[in-house]
Amino acid sequence: MTDYIQLLKSCNLKATPQRISVLKALDGQTHPTIDELFEQIRLEHPAISLATVYKNLNTLKDEGLVVEINTPTGKMRYDVFYMPHIHVVCANCGNIEDMPCDIAFDKYQKDIEEKVGRSIKRIEVLATVDSCSCC
């Protein structure tokens, strides 16, 4: 089981029950939409509002713990971002797969930072395919 409290502290965030619930729900699902995430959290916390989920999701995104994935349907999906990986999105059905990668993101990031003269917070890679095994 992931230590959500330690993960939040590593980003200097308070480990609130709402943030822990968002991380836990994201960790338990595969790239949910905001509606799917909200419904999952409501199973454990029936009184939580959609606004609270949005607020905490945005805070986690701002700190780099969660990434937003744009899909061909236009519905954003979300993922916990423990380590760099590629999101492979099917343009036909919208399925998303996490693909581990052996690209040296740290070296690549340093190269880009040198070229642009600024610090990069995080590199996100999205690959789109025409179809997948789920189609």
Asked if pLDDT for residue 105 goes beyond 90, the answer is no
Residues 46 and 29 in one domain: yes
Reported as a single tens digit per residue, the pLDDT across 110-128 is 899 999 999 987 788 889 9
Mean residue pLDDT across the chain: 90
Considering the domain architecture, whether residues 8 and 50 belong to the same structural domain is answered as: yes
- Whether residue 82 is predicted with pLDDT greater than 80 in this model: the reply is no
| pTM strictly above 0.95 | no
89 and 75: one domain? Answer: no
Q: Which of 81, 100, 124 is the last residue of a domain?
A: 81
Q: How many domains does the chain have?
A: 2
Query: What distances in angstroms separate CA 49 from CA 31, 37, 52, 74, one per listed residue?
Result: 20, 12, 5, 23
| 18 shares its domain with 58 | yes
**Do residues 89 and 52 share a domain?**
no
Place of tokens 């949910």: 32
Distances (CA, A) of 85 to 16, 36, 55, 80: 27, 22, 25, 11
CATH of the domain at 56: 1.10.10.10
* Contact of 28 with 4, CB cutoff 8 Å: no
Whether the pLDDT of residue 14 is over 70: the answer is: yes
The reply to whether 73 and 121 lie within a common domain is no
Residue 22 has pLDDT above 70, yes or no: yes
Helix, strand, or coil here: 95?
A: coil
Q: What CA–CA distance (Å, rounded) separates 107 from 114?
A: 11
Residue 6 pLDDT greater than 60, yes or no: yes
Residues spanned by the domain of 112: 83-135
Looking at the structure, do residues 88 and 77 belong to the same domain, yes or no?
no
49 and 105 inside one domain: no
Identify the weakest region by mean pLDDT among 77-81, 118-122, 127-131. Answer: 118-122
Integer-rounded Cα radius of gyration of the chain = 16
Instruction: pLDDT band for 109, please (50, 70, 90 cuts).
Output: confident
- pLDDT more than 70, % of the chain: 99
